[in-house]
Structures are given as C-alpha cells and as structure tokens.
Amino acid sequence: MFQKIGYAVSLLIATSAASAHAGDFVKAQASEAAAALERYTSGGGAAPWAIESIEINAALDKLDKSGRLRAIRRATATGGSRYEVLQLAGDRTVEVQVIARYLNAEERQSMLPPESVAINNKNYKFTYQGIIDDGEHRAYAFQITPRHKRDGLIKGELWLDQRTGAPLVQFGRTVKSPSVFIKRVSVRRENVLCDGMIASRLTRITVETRLLGRAELVIEEHPLRSPEALQLARSGAIGGQE
C-alpha cells in the first residue's frame, strides 16, 4: 500500500512539474510575441516603396465582367501616389466602377495622417492568439480591434513572422464603409519576406456593393530599385523583378 501511495505522490509531483514547465513555456512565448509586436508597432510597419510595379486584376461576379491594370507607382513628396499606366484592358464598367474607384480610395487614404491609420496601440487593441504554422512560416497571431470607428481601420488579425517580427499576413473587414453604396469591405494582405524585408505583396479585396453585387480585386506589388528593374516592368516582365 505504501508503495502505491509513493507512486501516486511521485506521479503527482512529476505532473505538477510538467505543468509548471508548460506554463513557463507559454509565458515565455507570449513575452516573445509581445516583444515582436512592440518592434512592429514602434516602427510603424513596413514603409511604402518609393517606386513599385503594380498589377490589378478586378472582376464583377454578378455581371461576369473583368479588367486589368498594369502600372508603375511612385510615392510623391506629399505622401500621395503617381501612376504611370502601362496597360489597361478588359471591360469598361470594371475599369470605371472597380479599378478607378480603388485607385481613388487609395489616393484618399494616402492623404490621411499616417498616425491615424497606423497599426499601433493608439489605434488598435491587440489580443495574442498563439502561434500559426502554415508549413512555410511560423508566426505570432494577434487579433486586432480598432479603438475607433474610423476610415482605414480594420477588425481582423495580424501575423508577425516568428523569426524576424516582420508582418506576414493581415486580414479583416473595414470598420467603416467608404460609401453608402458599399455594404462591407474585406481585405487580406500577404507579404513575401526576404531576409526579414518585404520582397513583394499580394492583396485581395472583396467589396460587397448595393448596386453591382460583389467586386473582387487582386493586387500584386513589387519594388523597383534599379533602372533595369524599371525597364523590365515597362517591357511587361512579371513584376519587373530584379
């Protein structure tokens, strides 16, 4: 009987030690995630590239219409964007009602004070969700909830690369509709990283409109850091990659 009691006590001690170890591991993981988030928010996220190639593929599902834009985008000194259109093809309705409206919305948002839309503690509440492993990357996942119902803010998730702290994925819905004709806007942005820096970006936007149904956009962006890359983009090479 005493042997059974001794075994039970030993098992209880071992289980308690394992639980304490697991608790310490979770706390350490949460602490590392908080440090990564602090680095990200204090840096304001990734700065826009000065010159980039951009390709927009858009569609109106209800009308079965699509369109495409290829352009070179340059950041202006005032914080806006200037476009050199290389190709515009597809249905005219999509060009005017989807692509042009998206570019106008981007221009309006670029003129907002950067601090008003930045992903930081002033604009958002962060809730740590744990580690995400998609087979290629491990990332710290945070639920992001805007503190204010304001243009340019989304409610969703932010994933930060576990190794570098760089933003991998951001997705959610805007908390304020940009127009009375739009019911909701969903956004998913995925970054491709190279040595902890953003090498390219893919953004998917779904807009539920009241008049035209669902509009979908897929935006690919690549930085252009040399005259050769700029020339490749103009010639139609994919992304103008270096």
Mean pLDDT, the chain, as a whole number?
Answer: 84
Question: How far apart, in Å, are the Cα atoms of 108 and each of 13, 36, 113, 117, 230?
Answer: 62, 30, 11, 12, 26
Q: Which of 238, 200, 242, 208 is nearest to 225 (CA)?
A: 242
Name 67's Cβ contacts closer than 8 Å, sequence gap at least 6.
57, 58, 59, 88, 89, 90, 91, 94, 95, 98, 99
Average pLDDT over residues 228-237: 80
Alpha-carbon separation of residue 12 from 6, 15, 20, 56, 189 (angstroms)? 10, 5, 12, 60, 47
pLDDT band of 15, cuts 50, 70, 90: low
The residues pairing with 56 across neighbouring beta strands, listed in sequence order, are 69, 219
Three-class secondary structure of residue 99 per DSSP: helix
What stretches of the chain adopt beta strand conformation (E)?
Answer: 51-60, 65-75, 81-90, 124-133, 138-146, 154-161, 167-174, 182-194, 197-209, 214-223
Domain ranges of the chain: 41-240
Its pTM stands at: 0.82
Phi-psi category of residue 152: left, alpha or beta, with phi > 0 → left and psi -120 to 50 → alpha? left
CA-to-CA distance for 89 and 150, rounded, in angstroms? 34
Percent of the chain at pLDDT exceeding 70 = 83
Q: Rounded CA gap, 221 and 56, in Å? A: 9
Give the per-residue pLDDT at 34.
92
Q: Which amino acid is at 171?
A: F
Category of 115 on φ-ψ map: left (φ > 0), alpha (ψ -120 to 50) or beta: alpha
Give the pLDDT confidence of 44-98 residue by residue, as tens digits: 555 568 889 999 999 999 999 999 999 999 988 777 788 999 999 999 999 999 9
Q: What is the tens place of the pLDDT at every residue in 167-207?
A: 999 999 999 887 777 889 999 999 998 887 889 999 999 99
CA gap 226, 85 in Å, rounded: 19
